[in-house]
Each structure stands twice: as structure tokens, then as C-alpha cells.
Amino acid sequence: MALQDIVEQTVSGLGYDLVEIERSAGGLLRITIDLPWTQPQEGVAPVEQFINVEDCEKVNRQLQFALEVDGIEYKRLEISSPGIDRPLRHAQDYERFVGHVIDITLKAPMGAAAGGQVHASRKKFRGTLEKVVGADGSVGWQIVWSDAPPVKPGQKVSKKRVPPPLQALGFTLDELRESRLAPIVSFKGRGGPGGTDGAEIGVEGDANKE
């Protein structure tokens, strides 16, 4: 069985979501997991829950056994929670993080789609994720941003200064090469529906070699 299938079946079988699989130099196999997310009911405040050390240890033990049974080679196994640059891979991830700032990389330049206001060869964008529902009920996505320079602490901004207009770029998930939460550090956490506190925890285990 392929590594992706083994990890996905093991993680989901324990009640978690698989976020990412990474193989690094030195034989490190890093698995990022998260708690399942469900759309909160309208008018009900979402309850934030986060992966803890016990969750990582549970997945670590089960994965070590599963990988050994299938003969998957690795030297160190690391199970961790998503960091502040959590990847977005599925439609549910976009539903969860509407209103958050994300970084996207397109497979092909789409400058013209932003009204010609960006360089035609540009592929990387950062903006606030928004959900767009069409008249026919179809769901789309866009990011919205402003090219206004960030205001430094203590800096006075003239009330007469006209801010640059907001720009928007619509996209489909098939047009993305990569998409992640923007790694913006906040001591108050990301907040909002399905927010994450930005803290990353994990556990490691060595492969059982005789």
C-alpha cells in the first residue's frame, strides 16, 4: 500500500484529518494532523478545539505500527499540529477559513483576471479569503487586498489621503498550485470561525529497527 493511503487511512481511522505529509532529509517523515471541522450552525458561536500532545502521541503509536507492517522506510516519525502557515487543500478548508488572510500561488498567471491592475506574469497573491455565491447557487472563491503600505506603530495617517482601491482576484481550486494561511503572528490567535491559535506542537518517534 502506498504511503499516502496508509497514513490517510490510519489518521482518519483515529478520527483526525490528514493535513500534510512531508519527507525530509535524514529520513524524517512528518505528518501534520488536525481535528475534523464541521460548518457551525447559524447563530451559534463556534467552539475552537486544537490538537494536543495526547492526540499526536496516539497517531504516532498507531502509525509506527502501520508503517512497520507495510515496510515503509523512515528513520524518524514526527506527528504535529498545523502551524500558522497551514496549507489549504480541500474545499472544506476554504469554507473554514473564510475571512482569514491567505497566500496563494497560481499554476498560471492571471493578471488580466484582476482587472489588469497587477503585473500580467504575477502568480503569487496575499489577501482576505472570501466566498462568492453566484445567482445560480454556485460557489466560488476570491481574495481581496489593498496595495496600501502597512501603517507603522505611531505613524500618523492623513485623513485627506485617499487609500488605494481594493483589488479582488477570483479563482477556482483547480487553478491553484499552492494555498496556505498567511503566517501572520498574533498573540490573540487567529480568531474567527474555525480559527487556529497558531501554536504548533508535535511528538517524534524513531523507526523500530533491529
**Percent of the chain whose predicted confidence (pLDDT) is above 90:** 55
Q: How confident is the model at residue 191 (pLDDT cuts 50, 70, 90)?
A: very low
Residue 111 has pLDDT above 90, yes or no: no
How far apart are the C-alpha atoms of 45 and 42, rounded to whole Å? 8
Residue 56 has pLDDT above 70, yes or no: yes
- pTM of the predicted model over 0.75: yes
Helix axes 53-69, 3-13, angle to 10 degrees: 140
Query: 31 with 11: CB under 8 angstroms?
Result: yes
Selection from 12-21, 115-124, 183-192 with the highest mean pLDDT: 12-21
pLDDT value of residue 88? 96
Cα–Cα nearest to 131, from 122, 118, 142: 142
pLDDT value of residue 203? 76
Cα–Cα nearest to 88, from 143, 47, 138, 137: 143
